[in-house]
Amino acid sequence: MVFIGYHASHEQVPPNRLFEAVVRAEAAGFDGAMCSDHLAPWSLDQGESGYAWSWLGAALASTSFSLGVVTAPGQRYHPVIAAQAIGTLEQMFPGRFWAALGSGEAVNEHVTGDPWPPKDRRNARLQASVEVIRDLLAGREVTRDDEVTVHRARVWSRPETPPPLLGAAVTAETAGWLASWADGLATVAQPRDVLAGVLDAYGSAGGRGPRVLQVHVSLEDSDEEALAVLRQQWRHATIEGSLWDVEQPADFDAMAGDPTDEELRRGALVSTDAGALAAQIAELVALGFDRVYLHGVGTDQTSFLDRAERTLLPALRSAL
């Protein structure tokens, strides 16, 4: 059975309401949840960004399913601090937590005032951070001075077994690169040929563990409503080229401009019919994913979760 999870978007929903949503997601029948770790939203209209780590503690304590987070150690988070956070959650909730580690986005990381490195340096920093985190979770004392600087660090409260550390990738190039160290792959829905390339690159390079897919959806009563929600909340997905070097939500708004309806449809799956939407999601999962996490791009998560429970989840399980 393919694992069907719920994506909690901190950029869009205040943390108290997002907490209520993740509890509701378990009751609705989702198998687990994941969340984003942002300091800033993608747009001014989104206007939120609760602290993922404190939210995760509350969410894990109030549910019984697994939760994961996509995060970026190395700049905003020193890898020692990331290791301590990861270790604490897994020690408190064994077997229920995972993290997907990526090279980061300037919109979240520029606040330290440190220069924003090019992609190859960010990858090197990420790999060094992963090595530090794994050593610390294994109980070793770490000193290091290269891509990251660490002085005689140790994590004292540790889980019996470290949680999985997946790698986050959008491109085939990154997926192939992280296959050597990741416990799994986490990526986001794109055209089928692009996703197939990401999976192939990861597998060809010896990638192991689960293949995790996040899918953005806009499911409303009418096509006009679905597109309006997408335009208001997720239009940055229409931007062509790299988003990783942009620093401010207002800059994303300016770059996205006023996209056409067809451009909006490239940023998410848009539908008024749960069965048709389930079929689209199933086609992507069939490329070779073990888990899929659904992100309803609107701010009304109560409505999305009601629809998921009544129609979308049954249809998707049938389609899969």
Report the amino acid identity of residue 223. D
The whole-number pLDDT of residue 20 equals 98
Average pLDDT of the residues of the chain: 98
pLDDT at 1 over 90: no
Please provide residue 237's backbone torsions phi and psi, each rounded to the nearest 5 degrees: -65, -10
Rounded to the nearest angstrom, the gap between the alpha carbon of residue 269 and the centroid of all alpha carbons in its chain is 17
What separation in angstroms does the CA of 290 have from each of 170, 211, 286?
Answer: 17, 5, 9
> Which residue in this structure is represented by tokens 């070779």?
288
The whole-number pLDDT of residue 241 equals 83
CA distance 140 to 134: 9
pLDDT at 211 over 90: yes
Residue 215 burial (CB count, 10 A): 19
Secondary structure (3-state) at 207: coil
Average pLDDT, integer, range 289-305: 98
What separation in angstroms does the CA of 248 have from each of 13, 81, 232, 253, 258?
Answer: 18, 25, 17, 9, 18
Q: What is the pLDDT of residues 137-157, one digit of tens each?
A: 999 999 999 999 999 999 999
Q: What is the DSSP letter of 124?
A: H
Cβ atoms of 187 and 166 within 8 Å: the answer is: no
Element (H, E) at 15: helix 15-28
Average pLDDT, integer, range 228-246: 95
pLDDT at 270 over 90: yes
pLDDT category, 168, cuts 50, 70, 90? very high
Average pLDDT, integer, range 184-213: 98
Element (H, E) at 11: none
Average pLDDT, integer, range 35-44: 98
CA distance 40 to 286: 33
CA distance 269 to 304: 14
Average pLDDT, integer, range 210-225: 98
pLDDT category, 207, cuts 50, 70, 90? very high
Cβ atoms of 141 and 119 within 8 Å: the answer is: no
pLDDT at 300 over 90: yes
Q: What is the DSSP string of 63-120?
A: -SSEEEEEE-BTTTB-HHHHHHHHHHHHHHSTTSEEEEE----HHHHGGG-S----HH
Looking only at the bridges linking them, the beta strands covering 149-153 and 142-145 are antiparallel
Range in 64-73, 198-207, 233-242, 295-304 the model is least confident about: 233-242
Average pLDDT, integer, range 101-110: 98
CA distance 199 to 175: 8
The whole-number pLDDT of residue 242 equals 85
Secondary structure (3-state) at 27: helix
